[in-house]
Amino acid sequence: MLIDARSVPSGTEFACDLCVVGAGPAGLAIVDRLQRSGLSMVLLESGGLNLELPTQQLYRGEIEGHEYFRLDACRWRLYGGSSNRWGGWCRPLEEADFQARDWLPLSGWPIGADALRPYHDDAAKLFELPNARFDLAAWGDRLPRPLPLDGTHFENTVFQHSPETNFGDRCGAAIVAADNIVTLLHANLTSMHLDPGASRVAQLRVNALNGRSIVVRPRVTVLAAGGIENARLLLASRTDRPGGLGNESDMVGRCFMEHLHVPVGHMVAPSGAWSQEYFTKAIFDDVRLRGVITPTAAAQDRFGLLSTSIAIEGAQYSFGTPFVGWPPRVTFGPVRRYRMLRSGRWKWAVERLKQAAEHAQALPKKFHTWNAARMACKRAGPLGTTEQIYSLYFRAEQAPDLQNRVMLSTRQDVLGVPQTRLEWRVMPRDAAGILGWLEVLDRDLREHELGRVIFPADDWQSAVIGGPHHMGTTRMSADPRHGVVDADCRVHSVDNLYVAGSSVFATGGYANPTFALVTLALRLADTLRGRLQPGPASVSAP
């Protein structure tokens, strides 16, 4: 059942077994997996079926520190969430990402990679991937020749690319048709309230932008509103606990992490032994692949450096993220047309539109990258007859740091909820990780006669951007003092409140977070199925 909250009379109450807040990839994966469970469910989505400026502006907030995207322009507030526009990069977290590293404070998850591995196949189906194989051996015959890295501290790694699956399209029809699920659009969670004298969420206050107010009374609540919004909602629910729900140890919002995207340094290498095409997206009938190089787990421990992926691009490579960070008033028109084209048969037009957007956004960077390549050539000296110069593009892990955090602003949105204040900086450990791998790569290339690295100018950090991948703000921990949720994604101090999405990541690795957060969501759905027997409450509707 699909209901517009703007049409529901104020004071209406919904009772249900499970309420999921947010209809993005995590929330939709949970509801889709449980639709035949017999549980009564309410799915709350702040937006509608299309982009709407007043709703998108609820993401507005303040930023302090390193230059970052506008907060109301790097996530999408509509059914399907940010899967309405994403890059499709898919790869699970590595086994080493879950392990405690004695040289990295706050590292280590209370679960291992084996806890998520059983969900890889089902996640791959949701992402419309041909299978859940991410090992190089599975695709060796389809890929161009990678860099020969035997005996080095690096290995060749491969991503699969989803056809940019929109979870609203993928799961929406079945969810809307299910008798046990009510989907409320334009329904904004504004606060959560506990049972008096208990550690249980008793009711959710939900408001529409036209002034209508609704109450939801769930047996269990799951926040799946995104890496920044999950923390904001917990912090803003201050009626029963002054610091917000789950914040007894002052950990809600802390350890905000990104993936640091930056072109840094160049490589001079002879051609012939490998193909630079390995680092571009290869599209076949049933699979889309892209290669990178990554440091081995043993090398990370040996050198005490954060994880990263490195793509070897053309000398003047300039990375652009179409529309991200642009004001919503400017981007809504192009994004709407992009979505319309994607939903039809105009695949060639979609690719042309993406290329045009990437080119347009990259224009301000073109001179910088051209000049960086020119200066790198000067520093490299005369090139051999078979040598070429390439740009090195890092997508690097960021360390969890208590000072990088989501807080509440003194300003409020139109619904009276405090806006977000994000404090985010590239810390010395983060920068040292990138420069450290450049040094290791240079030594390995020279030792194996594969080439050499040309190190960047001192101002390289100014080019760092985010994914935008929002992680870590409700981090998973065994000890409540060091995190917000436990190994089952339940808020440590609230018995019936869970969190889904990349906000629970304890560390971020180098892989894009979407595949991993969906596997976590599927695991959470199975946990809830086991803990929630269908109760006497059925979804009440006006």
Query: What is the pLDDT, as a whole number, of residue 375?
Result: 63
Residue 386 has pLDDT above 80, yes or no: no
Query: For residue 214, how many other CB atoms are within 10 A of its CB?
Result: 24
Parallel, antiparallel, or unpaired: how do β-strands 13-21 and 41-44 relate? parallel
Residue 363 has pLDDT above 70, yes or no: no
Bridge partners of 291? 158
Query: What is the pLDDT, as a whole number, of residue 198?
Result: 86
Top mean pLDDT of 340-349, 385-394, 469-478 is at 469-478
Q: In terms of pLDDT, which residue wins out, 324 or 247?
A: 247
Residue 468: is the preceding peptide bond cis (ω within 30°)? yes
Average pLDDT rounded to a whole number, residues 440-455: 95
Q: H/E element holding 465?
A: none
Dump pLDDT digits (tens) for 3-19. 999 999 999 999 999 99
Q: Is residue 199 part of a domain?
A: yes
Residue at 59: amino acid letter:
Y
Token pair listed for 428 = 């010395």
Query: pLDDT averaged over the chain?
Result: 90
Q: Is residue 462 part of a domain?
A: no
Bridge partners of 222? 20, 498
pLDDT band of 458, cuts 50, 70, 90: confident
Dump pLDDT digits (tens) for 493-508. 999 999 999 999 999 9
C-alpha dihedral over 90, 94, 99, 105, to 10 degrees?
-60
Which phi and psi (to 5°) does residue 209 adopt?
Answer: -70, -15
Q: Is residue 118 part of a domain?
A: no
Domain limits for position 67:
1-94+166-253+405-422+470-542
Dump pLDDT digits (tens) for 277-305. 999 877 777 789 999 999 999 999 999 99
Query: What is the pLDDT, as a whole number, of residue 176?
Result: 92
The answer to whether the beta carbons of residues 192 and 201 sit under 8 Å apart is: yes
Residue 358 has pLDDT above 70, yes or no: no
Average pLDDT rounded to a whole number, residues 31-43: 96
Query: What is the pLDDT, as a whole number, of residue 73?
Result: 87
DSSP-assigned letters across all residues of 101-116: -TTSTT---SS-GGGT
- What CATH number did the domain enclosing 73 receive? 3.50.50.60
Percentage with pLDDT > 90 across the chain:
74
Dump pLDDT digits (tens) for 71-102. 998 899 999 999 988 889 999 999 999 999 99
Residue 348 has pLDDT above 80, yes or no: no
Dump pLDDT digits (tens) for 97-125. 999 999 999 999 999 999 999 999 999 99
Q: Is residue 230 part of a domain?
A: yes
Percentage with pLDDT > 70 across the chain:
86
The answer to whether the beta carbons of residues 11 and 35 sit under 8 Å apart is: no
Q: Is residue 116 part of a domain?
A: no
Q: Is residue 513 part of a domain?
A: yes
Query: What is the pLDDT, as a whole number, of residue 347?
Result: 55
The answer to whether the beta carbons of residues 446 and 452 sit under 8 Å apart is: yes
The closest of 370, 147, 97 to 259, measured between CA atoms, is: 97
- For 172-193, give one letter per residue: b (16+ CB within 10 A) or e: beebeebebbbbbbbbbbbbbe
The closest of 117, 169, 109 to 519, measured between CA atoms, is: 117
Query: What is the pLDDT, as a whole number, of residue 315?
Result: 80
Q: Is residue 101 part of a domain?
A: no
The answer to whether the beta carbons of residues 502 and 469 sit under 8 Å apart is: yes
Domain count, the chain: 1
CA distance 127 to 345: 19
CA distance 292 to 315: 16
End-to-end Cα distance, the chain: 12
pLDDT band of 432, cuts 50, 70, 90: very high
Dump pLDDT digits (tens) for 175-212. 999 999 999 999 999 999 999 988 999 999 999 999 99
Whole-model pTM: value is 0.91
Residue 255 has pLDDT above 60, yes or no: yes
Query: What is the pLDDT, as a whole number, of residue 373?
Result: 59
Query: What is the pLDDT, as a whole number, of residue 281?
Result: 78
Q: Is residue 21 part of a domain?
A: yes
Out of 337-341, 415-419, 437-441, 490-494, pick the least confident.
337-341
Q: Catalogue the E-assigned strands of 315-451.
A: 387-396, 405-412, 418-424
Residue 40 has pLDDT above 80, yes or no: yes
Query: For residue 49, how many other CB atoms are within 10 A of its CB?
Result: 14
